[in-house]
Structure 1
């Protein structure tokens, strides 16, 4: 099973000297990038899970409704929000979507599992920091979903062969043929592969004059759209099963 997920977070890179970009413009870029992803998913009839950064949910209501209307899962991405902020936003989001928010993803800033369970979350999908050296720092990980205090803990996937994690950086950097082989081989060993991408990766960083390190700007923008398209074509050709996270876990 391939669990395809996207983190909707505004690009926070600085701009080149002499250029400025407002928070509203960053939000517009996020909106446009997400719509490009939705278009590609729709063409290939693949459903995914979208983890929206909590602080921008109120400003993206129409986009979130569109994501949900296309049959994708809405979940939360906690960048640095407090437990009280998460709880309030969860109630507001569930009211305007008329659906329960079951999942949350965290990275550096993590809320206690018991608190998340009390808020009504059913699963946690924590991820780690990814940079150019990160894939080589961890060589072992349990790839099984566990349950702690009544909440499911979904680990990041890692290839048992190459030892590379299935994070946003690896998808962006690896040749697609190698990445496809990695997924194919991993599914022979594990029940699922959890893939996550950031919607900021679909930004034309040169167009907006963002200062992004070369290893992170490589294959950004249209090239990321092409890679995602190639990946979904391959998934369908191989008749691989895909699922939203909440459906797979429950």
Structure 2
């Protein structure tokens, strides 16, 4: 099973000297990037899970409603919110969508599983920092979903052969021929492959002059759209199964 997931987050990079981009414009960039992702998913009739950063969720009500209406899952991505903030936003977005928010993703700040269970989350999808040295930091880890305090803990996927993780950076960096082979070989060994990308990777850095490293500008913007299109076309051609996170886990 292939679990396609996307983090809806605003780009935090500083701007180049003499250029500024307001918070409102950064939000608009995230919205347009996410719409591009949804359009590509629509072409291939593939459903995915979208993890919206909690601090901007209330500002994206129209976008989240549109995504949900197309059959995609809305979940949360927590960067810096405390349990009180999460609980309030969760209630408001659930009321908006008339659906339960079942999943949450964490990276640097990790809230205790007991607290997440009290907020009625069903699964946690934690991710790690993905920088240029990340693939070489750890060569082996568990890839099975486990139950802990009533929560399903979903780990990041990692290729059992190349030992490369399926994070945003690897998708951006690796030639699609090798990425396809990695997915295919991993599915021979594991029950699922969890892929995640960030909305900011679809930013046109030629238009918006953010000061991002060269390796992060590589294959960004329209090239990311093209890579996603190629991946989804291949998935459909090979008749490979895909699923929203909540459906696969439960």
Question: Which residues of 2 match residues 225-244 of structure 1 at below 5 A?
Answer: 225-244=225-244
The match for 2:13 is 13
In 2, distance between residues paired with 1:141 and 1:46? 29
The root-mean-square deviation of aligned C-alpha atoms, in Å, is 0.4
Taking the TM superposition and a 5 Å limit, the aligned residue runs for 1:31-50 are 31-50=31-50
**Aligned match of 1:134:** 134
Q: For the residues of structure 2 that align with 1:205 and 1:111, how far apart are their CA atoms?
A: 33
Report the CA distance between 1:100 and its aligned residue: 0.1
Distance in 1 between residues matched to 2:30 and 2:51, nearest whole Å: 13
Determine the structure 2 residue equivalent to 1:168: 168
Match runs of 1:16-27 below 5 Å = 16-27=16-27
Provide the C-alpha distance between the structure 2 equivalents of 1:220 and 1:34, rounded to a whole number of angstroms.
Answer: 14
The aligned counterpart of 1:150 is 150
| Other-structure match for 1:210 | 210
Q: Deviations over 1:46-78 (max 9, x none)?
A: 000000000001110000000000000000000
For residues 115-144 of structure 1, the C-alpha deviation after alignment (integer angstroms, 9 at most, x for no partner) is 000000000000000100001111111110
CA distance in 2, matches of 1:5, 1:176: 18
Aligned residues between the structures:
250
Q: Where does 1:76-155 land on structure 2 (aligned, <5 Å)? A: 76-155=76-155
* Cα distance in 1 between the residues matched to 2:212 and 2:234: 30
Shift of 1:24: 0.2
Shift of 1:206: 1.9
SS in 1 for 2:45: coil
Rounded to whole Å, the distance in 2 between the matches of 1:3 and 1:90 is 23
Q: Give the TM-score, by structure 2 length.
A: 1.00
Is there any run of 5+ residues in structure 2 with no aligned partner, and where?
none
Shift of residue 16 of structure 1? Answer: 0.8
DSSP-derived class of the 1:132 partner: coil
Q: Give the 4+ runs in structure 1 shifted more than 2 A.
A: none
1:8, 1:205 → 2: CA distance? 17
